[in-house]
Amino acid sequence: MADLSNYRFTASHEWVRVEGSTATVGISDHAQAQLGDVIFLELPAVGTAVTAGTKFGAIESVKAASDLYAPVSGTVAEVNAALTERPELVNSDPYGEGWMLRVDGASAEGSDLLDEAGYTKLVGA
């Protein structure tokens, strides 16, 4: 089990880990398990501004397509290029290699984030 003490979660199942002014964003283990085999990710280009609580992309599994919502506001500094060829990393390592974005100048203002305990309670795990 990953140490998630530095992770914060949205009610829409994204996570964010803030280090200094950079935030890393992905989706939770619960979300990947619900989606099943991830096939495709639609992610913003580097330099795009994202806003907490609004859509930044989409994720598709065989079963469903879902929108992705930014847990923080800021500017996309890096996109996980490995996911283009290997979107299944979101399934196998959602909190590590399956990360999606790094956001600079991250601010969680306007975002209602949960800690691990709060999120676990939300998803009833």
Closest distance to another protein from the beta carbon of 39 (Å)? 4
Q: Which residue among 1, 5, 20, 62 contacts another protein (CB under 8 A)?
A: 62
The minimum distance between CB 124 and another protein, in angstroms, equals 15
Residue 32 contacts residue 98 (beta carbons within 8 Å)? yes
74 touches another protein by CB under 8 A: no
Stretch that binds another protein, among 2-10, 43-51, 61-69, 70-78 (CB under 8 A): 61-69
CB 24 within 8 A of CB 89: no
Q: Pairing mode, if any, of strands 38-42 and 65-69?
A: unpaired
Nearest-angstrom CA–CA distance, 105 and 116: 23
Contact call for residue 12 and another protein (CB under 8 A): no
Strand-pair partners of 50: 74
| Adjacent-strand bridge partners of 29 | none
Could you give phi then psi for residue 34, rounded to 5 degrees?
A: -65, -40
Residue 87 binding another protein, by CB under 8 A? yes
Q: Which residues pair with 53 in a beta bridge?
A: none
Write the binding mask 20 to 59 for another protein: x where contact by CB under 8 A, - elsewhere: ----------------xx-xx-x---------------x-
Using CB under 8 A as the criterion, which residues of the chain lie in contact with another protein when the complex forms? 36-37, 39-40, 42, 58, 60, 62-63, 65, 87, 91
